Amino acid sequence: MQHDSALDIRRDYGHNEIERLAGSFRVRHTLAEMGAARLRHLLATEPFVPTLGALTGNQAVQQVKAGLKAIYLSGWQVAADANTAGQMYPDQSLYPADSVPNVARRINNALRRADQIARLEDNGDDTYWMAPIVADAEAGFGGALNAFELMKAMIEAGVAGVHFEDQLASEKKCGHLGGKVLVPIAQHIRTLNAARLAADVEGVPTVLLCRTDAQSAQLLTSDIDERDRPFISGERTAEGFFRIRPGLGVEYAIARSLAFAPYADLLWWETSEPDLGEAERFAAAIHREFPGKMLAYNCSPSFNWRRKLSPGELASFQRNIAGMGYRFQFVTLAGFHSLNLSMFNLARDYRERGMAAYGELQQAEFAAEAAGYTATRHQREVGVGYFDAVATAIAGGQASTTALAGSTEAAQFHNNGADIVADHGHDDGLVHNHAWAAHDCDMVEQRFLRAQ
């Protein structure tokens, strides 16, 4: 058994197990390593880290361009419209287990392209493009071995943080649906250990978030763990599940999170409404036993925010819970809702007014350019200029088939012709010359090595 005092993390395995399982050929997962270092830096230095759920790589690029510093990758959104089965699913772990890692890879590829374009154009943009991704591992899509493999797949895709929830994988539901079935506390600890072990084997200090659905769940698979027994009624369902006593949701979420706290970097309890009193009650109970333990909060689109909070309360909500220790805050389904509403409005207006409606969209894009929006020039946005530079380099500076010069976009949207390519010095590929990384990467790596 091993305890990481620097990060306050417990591992129910030791250094020897890590070394035996890692093999002799070690792969360095640069994006995951950089992402974990960056995420830890943000959590340590920002009042809180606000994020939106991204459904596509382009959405992630726009989020970073608008100033957000991290990306949330929701399993709900992947189920709805971005899974490898090519299906539209509800959030019930129906999609293939490789779906979230594949979307994470797409997001990282899009962010890398945005970084390459910005570096090529050398326009003074100092955006840190590789925003760390916190991704949804659901209930692990099976047992501890499945969680181990899924965590490895997340790391290979370049994910910085991953969360696992304490539901039964085969009955998993969205946290705001009914019919949720919890697993015993000890079983979820095995899931957390499996995920941490995978990160240690891969040599990456991935940020591990633990979610409990105890606040609204009504069923438990087994009474084997004595820590669960005060919260179950003794009644059984037709499937053999134990019923959880009603009215104890917050207490049960606290009890479970206290048991999970030594194994997780952040704790997340799924709530049923944005209740500041309950949020403070949970945070205070955790911090009495684990001072400084970071918390996460789902600012869920399942809540009717204007019905629950006044405009003033809504405006200050995130700052208020940040003061309680909720350092990572996210709107899980922002991508789904923004994509659907914007397309519905455009389609409705286009049906009624034709190109006049599209012209208004384009004028709105032009207006947004003052704030940093650049996707009006869609050819440039996806890298035509970058690949023109590739073609020119291949041809020794004499390419006659470059695409952006002479294009409709260059004639109607670019004021200064093709973008200027700058000559940049070489860096080591890890810190990318960003000032925060020189100190924080070294610090995180040293802490991680000491823990081994």
The residues carrying an active-site annotation are 174
* Whole-number Å distance between alpha carbons of 137 and 101: 9
Structure tokens, 183 = 């697993």
219-258: burial string, b at 16+ Cβ within 10 Å, e else: bbbbeebeebeebbeeeeeeeebbebbeebbbbbbbbbbb
Which strands make up the sheet holding 207-212, listed edge to edge? 49-52, 326-331, 294-298, 266-269, 207-212, 161-165, 133-136, 71-73
* Alpha helix stretches (DSSP H) within 97-248: 99-121, 144-156, 185-202
Query: What share of residues in the chain are helix, strand, coil (percent, to 5)?
Result: 50, 15, 40
* Tokens at 174, concatenated: 């969205």
- Containing 438, the helix (H) or strand (E) segment is helix 435-451
Do 205 and 159 form a contact (C-beta atoms < 8 A)? Answer: no
Write out the two tokens for 298: 């789902």
- H/E element holding 208? strand 207-212
Does residue 147 contact residue 120 with C-beta atoms inside 8 Å? no
* CA 185 – CA 228 distance, rounded (Å): 7
Beta-bridge mates of residue 165: 211
Among residues 47, 108, 29, the alpha carbon closest in space to that of 73 is found at 108
C-alpha 176/C-alpha 197 separation (Å) is: 30
- Alpha carbons within 13 angstroms on the beta-carbon side of residue 349 total 13
